[in-house]
C-alpha cells in the first residue's frame, strides 16, 4: 500500500510539474504576442514631484497610510487606477500613491555602494563613491549603454553603472 501511494504521488508531481511548465510557456507566449514586457528591464519609473508623498496600502485616502517619501524618490509604476498609481519602492514594497504626487523620473538611487566615475568605464577615474540609498540626478540619459551621467547634490558629477543604481 505504501509503494502504491508513493507511485501515485510521484505521478501526480510529474503531472503538476508538466502543467506548471505549460502554464509558464503559455503566459510568456501571450505576453510576447501582446507586445508586453516580460521582464523588469522594461519597467516604467516615476518620481515624487511633491514636497512629500504619502504611500498607502490601497487606492483610497481611507486606506492605511504606510510611508511618507520625499521629493525626487523614484518609484516603479506597476499599474494605474483612476487618480491612483500602484508602485514598487526600492525595497520591493508594493504601495499606492496619488497620481498628482508623481512626475517624470529624473533621479536614481544607489542600490549598492556606487562609484561615480569621470568616464563611462569600469576602470575610469573615481570621482566619488556614494552609499546605498543616496539620490543622484540623471543629467544625461543618452550616455553609453549600461551607464548614466549623474550629479550628486553636492555638485560631483560623472558616470555611474546602471547596475549600481535603481530607478531606471
Query: Would you say the pTM of this structure is higher than 0.85?
Result: no
CA distance 16 to 12: 6
How many degrees, rounded to 5, is the angle at CA 88 between CA 85 and CA 90? 140
Q: What is the pLDDT of residues 101-131, one digit of tens each?
A: 999 999 999 999 999 999 999 999 999 999 9
Q: What is the pLDDT of residue 142?
A: 85
C-beta atoms surrounding 47 within 10 Å: 22
* 97's grid cell: 500613491
Tell me the pLDDT band of 156, cut-offs 50, 70 and 90. Answer: very high
Amino acid at each position: 500500500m505504501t509503494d502504491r501511494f508513493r507511485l501515485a504521488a510521484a505521478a501526480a508531481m510529474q503531472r503538476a510539474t508538466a502543467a506548471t511548465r505549460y502554464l509558464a510557456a503559455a503566459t510568456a507566449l501571450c505576453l510576447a504576442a501582446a507586445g508586453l514586457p516580460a521582464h523588469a528591464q522594461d519597467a516604467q519609473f516615476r518620481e515624487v514631484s511633491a514636497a512629500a508623498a504619502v504611500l498607502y496600502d490601497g487606492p483610497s485616502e481611507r486606506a492605511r497610510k504606510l510611508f511618507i517619501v520625499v521629493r525626487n524618490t523614484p518609484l516603479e509604476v506597476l499599474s494605474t487606477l483612476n487618480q491612483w498609481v500602484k508602485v514598487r519602492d526600492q525595497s520591493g514594497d508594493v504601495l499606492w500613491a496619488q497620481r498628482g504626487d508623481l512626475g517624470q523620473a529624473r533621479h536614481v538611487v544607489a542600490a549598492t555602494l556606487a562609484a561615480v566615475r569621470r568616464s563611462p568605464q569600469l576602470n575610469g577615474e573615481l570621482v566619488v563613491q556614494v552609499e546605498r540609498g543616496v539620490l543622484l540626478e540623471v543629467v544625461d540619459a543618452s550616455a553609453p549603454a549600461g551607464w548614466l551621467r549623474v550629479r550628486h547634490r553636492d555638485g560631483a558629477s560623472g558616470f555611474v553603472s546602471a547596475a549600481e543604481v535603481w530607478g531606471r
